Amino acid sequence: MTARILDGKAIARELRAELASEIAALKSRGVTPGLGVLLVGDNPASRSYVTGKKRACEEMGIYSAEICLPAGAGRADIMAAVQSFNADERIHGVLVQLPLPDASIEQDVIAAIRPDKDVDGFHPISVGRMMLGLPTFLPCTPHGVLQILKRSGIRVAGTHVVVVGRSHIVGRPLANLLSQKSDLGNATVTMCHTGTRDIGSFTRQADIVVAAAGHPRTVTADMIREGAVVIDVGVNRVEDPSTDKGYRLVGDVDFEAVKQKASAITPVPGGVGPMTITLLLYNTVAAAKNSLHK
């Protein structure tokens, strides 16, 4: 079997077209959605994500503001930047790019974001509401994965999904959303992680495998059942002197081998990545809409 390639770029375009009319409607009521992004330090991957977010906002007519602080910025400077976005009426959504150089303050910084501006869905209130199935901002990458599955016509309800990875940003919230009794979920979910013995023994039982481990070739062909659907969340830079930048992006899945076995697979790049940014725009527009009712 050769897998159908699930085109995240095309699905993202479809979603952005839907968003464009909502943005136009908001503007006609005098509201331009606005996103505030805080970047601390000079991690090249983070820098490039932030540039991508800014470009996406420009393309969609969303106002964006960026605060960049040096790697050595202290807790007080970071908190002050968050507070300035919290207080700014032009900003409906606030995003603190992770990881922070000082990981020990991440949870405090996230908790300082106004929950009604928490477009990443990382604030403890957002996480709690998500787990309870209450209306809230869903984290962008997990929501992107669910939208790829839905918009590709892949049935999730009643299937066995194995999520490889337990990060707060992807694996854990995704496993939770997939297991919820909702139109995007209702699956039986297994979560594998670095403490799992023989991950392949679990993934081989899966109808859908989501790779979100953060390492190249975590999921190889021998770990996939013939005909399974494979979603690759990984974005890893591997050295490649033949490219201009000296590196290329690969996912967590051994794409060439796995695509011979799977029924459908997301590529890297061009799979989950474009969906993440689009769902961030979606949350920013939702936050702007909510602001009309305050």
102 catalytic, yes or no? no
Q: How far is CA 114 from CA 24, 33, 68, 142, 172, in A?
A: 25, 16, 19, 21, 23
Question: Looking at 116, 120, 207, 254, which residue is catalytic?
Answer: 120
Q: Give the span between the Cα atoms of 65 and 152, in whole angstroms.
A: 34
Nearest distance in Å: CB 38, ligand GUN: 9
97 catalytic, yes or no? yes
Angle between helices 8-28 and 140-151 (to 10 degrees): 110
Q: In this structure, how many other beta carbons lie within 10 angstroms of the beta carbon of residue 255? A: 22
The single residue among 126, 141, 176, 236 that binds ligand GUN, judged by CB under 6 A, is 141
The single residue among 64, 97, 126, 218 that binds ligand GUN, judged by CB under 6 A, is 97
The single residue among 6, 39, 169, 287 that binds ligand GUN, judged by CB under 6 A, is 169
Q: Which residue, 97 or 203, is less far from ligand GUN as judged by CB?
A: 97
Nearest distance in Å: CB 280, ligand GUN: 7
Phi-psi region of 190 (alpha: psi -120 to 50; beta: other; left: phi over 0): beta
Binders of ligand GUN among residues 37 to 96 (CB under 6 A) are 95-96
- Between the two ends of the chain, the Cα-to-Cα distance in Å is 53
9 catalytic, yes or no? no
Amino acid, res. 128? G
Q: Which residue, 207 or 252, is less far from ligand GUN as judged by CB?
A: 252
Q: Give the residue numbers annotated as catalytic, written as ranges.
A: 53, 97, 120
Q: Site residues (CB under 6 A) for ligand GUN?
A: 95-98, 120, 140-141, 169, 276
